Each structure stands twice: as structure tokens, then as C-alpha cells.
Amino acid sequence: MIVLAFAIGGCSGDRGGGTQGIGAGPQPCDGNCQTTSATPGAVGAEKLTVADVGRIVAQGVAEADARGEAATIGVVDRVGNVLAVYRMAGAQETVRITSGVEPITGQLVDAGLDGVEIVTANLAVISKALTAAYFSSEGNAFTTRTANQIIQENFNPGEFNTPGGPLFGVQISQLPCSDISQRFNGVGPGPGPHRAAIGFAADPGALPLYKNGVLVGAVAAIADGEYSLDRTITDQDEDVRDELIATAASFGYGAPRDRRADVITVEGKTLRFAQVDFDDLAADPAAAPAFAALPVGLQAVLGYTVDDPSDPPPSLRAGTAFGNPESGIRPALPADFPNVPAERFNALDAFVLVDASNSNRFPPRDGLAGLTAEEVELLLAESIELANRSRSQVRKPLGSSAGIHVTIVDINGDVLGVARTRDALVDAVDVTTQKARSALLLSAAIAESRIDALPDAEYLGTGGLVRILERAGAGQLKTSSPSAYVDAFQRFFDQPDALGDGAFAYSTRAIGNISRPFYPDGLNGPGGVRPAPEGPLSRPPGEWSLFSTGLELDLVYNAVVRHLAYVLQLGPPGGPPLFDTDVERNCTGYSGISAGLSQDAPFTEARNGITLFAGGFPIYDRAGQLIGAIGLSGDGLEQDDFLPFLAIDRVGKLPGTDIRNAPKGMRADRLQAKERRFPEDARDLFLRWVICPQSPFLDDPEVQDVCKGL
């Protein structure tokens, strides 16, 4: 099976082998790419124009017409501004979310977002397009088919007894209630990164878009009525309608072939880009009619392309130029790093997030529990310096430096500082904050009380629209209590006070270990049938799916439903909408449908949710007190782990600083599960804390065991 996966991955979407359909201009980008800029702080001007967006949509429509299909097509820029949502006549207005899970026992009903049918195709194509744009860079071109491969419970999907995907759990991020993601400004494209209505997508049919080698956005299509995933990547999908239409739409803006996912390997496995290529198309994209000749089909999407339900559909919009202030991400100025000497600052080539006035959204500042602005600044600078020295695991050409985004949070979850490298993935902006807050929340003594106070998640399942309108009672809905995960956690480790005493520190790698549908990670059991047990923060057998992960989803589920109710303006027939305002910028504390989806018990430590993969660590002072946390995300799972871990250690050794990694005696790798998977398994099943690569540095490859002794 593994050999077959390699064979399929190696050839998928690359049969042409030439330059047909890729973005115009020399390839690779002959000095035009931001990653090849010789001048620190220099940025390009490439972006999608109105004419580009019209051409992309028209090419997709022409392919759909040639196949007798009716599709919804969405286009976004690199920071998630929605430039067009176009629905063809006859296209389905709603999609069904389905994971395709065949449960071990029972039936997958009312499980998280699985089976929900109230999500519109408009919102689904936005989430799909955001995924392709946010997971790509000038060094790697990833699609939603790539995302599908790296976020499931096994990597590769369908290969039993292999660990979870490198980005397991990332789909529950970039949420509509996030305090980090930007919202539509009521006018047009503005500073991002922007949010997604239902998180990241695993549904094939979204591809990144390039101009002259520069990533400028993404396009997505939905024609099959489903928002789903591919659970077995070792075969050829029978239904690739979405992918064919998106491929046609991307013609002339396609990813350079030397940077597509199918020439990149992770853990020795080739990634997938697409199952189709330009030579599979039914129509010639270059002959597509002009957008102006198409029937009216542009959509008004509340909260994404319009800010008032009565607004008409907008015209096509131009995108922003990434790395310029208009995109919300720009080169750092000396004032953004006031304590870093000029020579060191110039070598950083750092970038920051900015608002519409070009002001740094998250300049380094003092925390409440002891972290100082200078320590925050030093952590950001050290992380970037280490990344610039480190070998990227997923970026072309080989030998490229790692692209990273790093976030520091205070003891209450407030962001104390943010910085990034020039071509870092955009998905990291929200995810790194989730990572830092995840490590903070579970390491703090308030974790149990915060989670116990949350209302139950009330799952919609099928018939969701009716249930919202009737405010169905708990007896008609499947409920999940967040506090049950605390109980399960304490039983699992035989620690009655766990999560309530702050006695242990948790990295996001450790949190991921106990959030998998089987423990330890990767052991499904004989024949792929998992006898026992799931991790204590995961849903149980028959209920777990990619869209029903456990505590991760339960924390934010009601808020997502509240947002959908607002965007769709749900209300009784002939009556007003249930909600005339959008969801708050805090995903926690929303009651379920039966209580009106009101926000009753929010808390700040997880206001944009949590995540389940490596790169987040709590920060302590020298007295052993928790004072904050750090999250980092970049071009590989081990890089996500060792870079922030090493940055804390190095800054903590500087004169005048008072920070350190968690004391060894407190780290979660001292915790041992009391239940063993198989009676004959005599191994000690401890959690993991950090995994560091052997030789990560480009400038000094002889350096080994970079985390030894730490």
C-alpha cells in the first residue's frame, strides 16, 4: 500500500511535465519572488487584478459548461480577501458536510459538523480557497487535496498503524469567531489574514494561483454538493468534478511545477497536488468567453463580501499585494524591534501584522505575570534568527530557509507580540496563537474550572436548519459536555487534580498525543480496528471524525453555529432573522441551540480555540511560575517544535532575563497513561514533550542534537 501511495503521489497532477497553464513569466521566478529578494525588507507588487479574477472565474465556468455541470466558484487573494463568489444557474445552494467515516460501532449521527446541511456552497468555496492560499507559499504549492493528506488520523490516510498527519487538527482553525483573523471591512479588500466560516478544508477542488512565480491567491470550485475528504489516497477518485473545474480556472495562473506538492516529500512520503491536470480538461481554458459575457451569478456573502443583508452582490474585486501594508503583512521597521541592534535587525528580514493605518497590530509589550516587552522582542528575534539558519522541510528549492510565524501570549491569552519571516505560510497567523493558548490553558491551574464552566456543545446533525429555527431542546440534540474531557483526562492518567492544580506543563505535542482517536498516536490495532482506548481529549469510536474531533471542536462548536445562523439570516418564515449581529471575537462560552446560542461563559485563554499539533510551549520564570506561552508554525513539524523550545532556552540565558522552559519535573512527558492499548504491550506509554531534528542548520550542518540536555 505504501509503495502504491508513492507511485500515485509521484505522478499525480504532473503528467504534462511542461509549463502549460502555469503562471506567466520565467520559471522559477528569476529574482521576482520575495523569497529570492536580495534586499531585506523588499517586497513585490504582484497581485490579482479585476481582469485576472474575471478570467479565472470564466475559465472555470467554461469547463463546467463543457461537462454539463453547474458549479460555485470562489477566488481569494493570499490573505483571504474574497474577490469573487460566482454561482452558475442550477448549482446547489447548500452542501452536505461528510467525512465518509464508516464507524466501528453505531452510526455517525449528529457528530460535530458531520452531516450538517445548512452550510452554503458560497461559504464552502471560501473555506476551500482560503486553505489552498494559506497552505501555500513561493516555495511550496499546496492544494486542498494536499491538506486532505496531512490532517487525517493516519499519515498517509488509509495506511493503518501510522501516526496522525503532520497538521492533524488544523481544520478547526481560522474560525469565524477568532480574535486574530480579520473581518470584511464593508468596503473591499483590506488587511488580512481573513477568517473562514467553517475552518480549513480537506475537500479536493481548490488550487493556489501564481503570477510570475509569486503566490497571489487561490481558486476553489464545488459542483458535487459535498464538502468532504478523500479517506483513501492510494486510488484515483471517481468524482473529480470540483478539481477539474478549479484546474481549468487556474489556467495561466497555475503553480510552478517545481514547487507543487507532488515534488515535495514529508517523512519520506510524496505529497499530492491534484488527480487531474490541464490535459484532462474538456474545454480549452484559453478559449473561454469573457467574464462580461457570462450570466449574472456573483453572490453577496454576508460577512465576507457584504456587511449588510440588503447589500447587492459586489462586482469583481482586485486582490492585495502580499508583503505590502495593504495586505496586512509588511516588513518590520526598526521601531517594531527597538531593542535589536541595527545590524542584527537588518539580518532578520522580519515581517509584522498591521492594520488599515499601517500600525503594528501586536507590538511587543509587557505581560501581566512578569514577561517584559524586551523579553518578548528577544523571543521573536531569536525565533526568526534560528529559522533563517534552519533547513525548510517542505520548501523548494532544497536548501531554502524555514519560513515561520511566531506568537507570544500573556498569562490570560492576550497577544504580547508577533513576528514572521517574509514568505511564511498565512495559516500560521491564527494557528500559532492557538498553539500558544493551548499550551497556556492546559498548563494553567485554571484549566479545569474554565472548561467545566462551559455549556454543552449541541450538535446539529441532519435537519440543522429546522433545529435552529425551532430551538430544539437538548432531548432532540446530541450534546457533548466539555467537562467530560477533564474527567476522562484525570482517569486516563490517574491524576484526580490534573488540569486543576497547574502541576504539569503541556506542550502542544503532548496535547496532540492525547487528542488522537487512538492512543498512542498511530496504533489503530490489528487490521486497523482500534480496540481501545482513544485519547482522553478525543471523541470515542463511532463518533470521531475529521469534523468531530473532541474537545477541540466542542470548545468552539456553538459559536460556529451562531455565526452560520447570522450569515444565513435564519429566522422563522415571514419573521425577522434570529440574529442581527455577528458572532463575537471569542469562540468560547456560547450556549447551545436550546438556550439561544448566547455567549454566557467566555474565557480568554482559548478565545480562538485550541489546536493539536506541535509548536506550542508554556513559558515559566526562574521561580517556576507560569507567565505566558509561545506558538510557532512553519515548514515542518520538528521545526515547529525545536525553534520555540530553543528560543526560550537561549533568551533565558541572556543577562537580565527571567524566562525558561518548563522545569523538567513538570513536563508532560513525566505523565504515563494507566491504560495500555494491548495487554501484551509492556512499553511505558508516556506523553511526548518535544522532538528536535538531528542537524537542522544550513550554516552549520555539523551541529547535532540541538536540544540535548534542555
Looking at residue 96, what is its pLDDT?
Answer: 85
Question: How far is 472 from 538, CA to CA, in rounded Å?
Answer: 26
Q: How far apart, in whole angstroms, are the C-alpha atoms of residue 589 and residue 451?
A: 9
Q: Specify the 3-state DSSP secondary structure of 40.
A: coil
Highest mean pLDDT range out of 20-24, 41-45, 670-674, 682-686? Answer: 670-674
Could you give the 3-state DSSP secondary structure of residue 373?
helix
Instruction: Please state the rounded mean pLDDT for residues 618-633.
Output: 97
pLDDT, one tens digit per residue, over 152-167 is: 888 888 888 888 889 9
User: pTM score, two decimals?
Assistant: 0.94
Residue 526's pLDDT band (cuts 50, 70, 90): low
pLDDT (mean) for 337-345 = 92
Measured CA distances, 182 to 115, 192, 193, 573 (Å): 28, 5, 6, 32
Query: Between residues 523 and 9, which one has the greater pLDDT?
Result: 523
Better-predicted residue by pLDDT, 542 or 95: 95
Residue 169: pLDDT band (50, 70, 90) is: very high
How far apart CA 509 and CA 707 sit, in angstroms, is: 15
- Return the top range by mean pLDDT from 154-168, 237-251, 671-685: 237-251
Extract the C-alpha cell encoding 305: 463580501
Percentages helix, strand, coil for the chain (3-state, rounded to 5) are 30, 15, 60
- Give 183-194 pLDDT, tens digit per residue: 999 999 999 999
Is the per-residue pLDDT at 135 higher than 90? yes
At 115 the three-state DSSP class reads coil
- For residue 349, pLDDT beyond 70: yes
> Residue 163's pLDDT is what?
86
The whole-number pLDDT of residue 387 equals: 95
Phi, psi at 626, each rounded to 5°:
-70, 125
Q: Please give the average per-residue pLDDT across 31-58, as a whole number.
A: 79
End-to-end CA distance of the chain: 39
pLDDT at 320: 97
- What is the Cα–Cα distance from 241 to 228, expressed in whole angstroms? 13
pLDDT digits (tens, 9 = 90+) for 387-446: 999 999 899 888 889 999 999 999 999 999 999 999 999 999 999 999 999 999 999 999
678 pLDDT higher than 70: no
In the chain, what percentage of residues exceed pLDDT 90? 69
Sign of CA dihedral 113, 116, 119, 120: positive
Instruction: For residue range 278-297, list pLDDT tens digits in order.
Output: 999 999 999 999 999 999 99
Choose between 211 and 31: higher pLDDT.
Answer: 211
Cell of residue 482, nine digits:
466539555
> Mean of the pLDDT values across residues 362-378?
97
Asked whether the predicted pLDDT for residue 109 surpasses 50, the reply is: no
pLDDT at 706 exceeding the cut of 50: yes
Residue recorded with cell 444557474: 89
**Which of 9-13, 27-31, 51-55, 168-172 shows the lowest mean pLDDT across its residues?**
9-13
- Give the model's pLDDT for residue 475: 61
Question: Does the pLDDT of residue 512 top 70, yes or no?
Answer: yes
In the numeric block, which cell numbers belong to residue 60? 472555470
Q: Identify residue 692 by its one-letter amino acid code.
A: C
* pLDDT for the residue numbered 528: 64
Query: C-alpha dihedral over 402, 507, 419, 186, to 10 degrees?
Result: 110
Q: In the numeric block, which cell numbers belong to residue 646?
A: 530553543
Q: Which position has the higher pLDDT, 172 or 213?
A: 172
Mean pLDDT (the chain) is: 88
**Extended strands (E) in 449-497:** 457-459, 478-480
Q: Is the pLDDT assigned to residue 338 strictly greater than 80?
A: yes
Distance from CA of residue 118 to its chain's centroid? 22
Over residues 345-366, the mean pLDDT reads 96
pLDDT in the model for residue 17: 54
Which of helix, strand or coil describes residue 669? helix
Domains identified in the chain and CATH numbers: 2-293 (3.30.450.150), 328-444+611-670 (3.30.450.150), 455-485+518-606 (no CATH)
For residues 453-465, average pLDDT: 81
Instruction: Quote the pLDDT of residue 674.
Output: 77
| Measured CA distances, 286 to 208, 278, 680 (Å) | 19, 11, 62
Cell (9 digits) for 212: 510570475
Positive or negative: CA dihedral 178, 179, 185, 191: negative
- The model's confidence at residue 574, banded by pLDDT at 50, 70 and 90, is confident
Dihedral class, residue 115 (left if φ above 0, else alpha if ψ from -120 to 50, else beta)? left
* Residue 79 confidence class, pLDDT cut points 50, 70, 90: very high
Q: pLDDT band for 12, please (50, 70, 90 cuts).
A: very low
Greater confidence (473 vs 88) lies with 88
Residues in contact with 306: Cβ distance below 8 Å, sequence separation at least 6, in sequence order: 184, 300, 312, 313, 314
